[in-house]
Amino acid sequence: MRNWLVRVFVLLAICSAVPARAAESLEQTIAFLFHRIETTDATFIRNGQAHTPQEAVRHVRDKYEHFKGQIKTPEDFIRLAATKSLLTGQPYLVRTRDGKEMPLNTWLSNALREHRENEAKKTSVRCRSPSWERS
């Protein structure tokens, strides 16, 4: 019985330490979103003009630098730097290869949700019971 309690305590200690280590910083999450923009096979529309992914990420990065002091969460980043033009108020759009368009903020929010789900899966795999506990 005592040996079992020690094993449970050790397992709990390990799993409680993993989320702190696995939690991504704001900068890492924003870097992921920049990478997603830059490497996607799509066209970005700003104020009616088509832009490459590289041009889009450069523009969003400039807006991020402008609003950096106000950005506390990835959602703030999307809302302030990747939603609409400050000059015209027009939403930024993404046009995929199949011709479908969607607002950039929706597209990035979906990417963020998928990213968080993948990160959560990685964390949960690290905290599974060791094989000696399952027998």
Indicate whether 52 belongs to any domain: yes
Task: From 100, 101, 104, 122, select the one nearest 112 (Cα to Cα).
Answer: 104
The pLDDT confidence band at residue 21, using thresholds 50, 70 and 90, is very low
Three-class SS string for 87-129? CCCCECEEEECCCCEEEHHHHHHHHHHHHHHHHHHHHHHHCCC
CA dist., res. 126 & res. 105, Å (int):
32
Global pTM reads 0.74
Which domain covers residue 98, as residue numbers? 24-127
Indicate whether 118 belongs to any domain: yes
At 87, the amino acid letter reads L
Identify the pLDDT of residue 120.
86
Q: End-to-end CA distance of the chain, in Å?
A: 15
Number of domains making up the chain: 1
Arithmetic mean of pLDDT, 4-31: 60
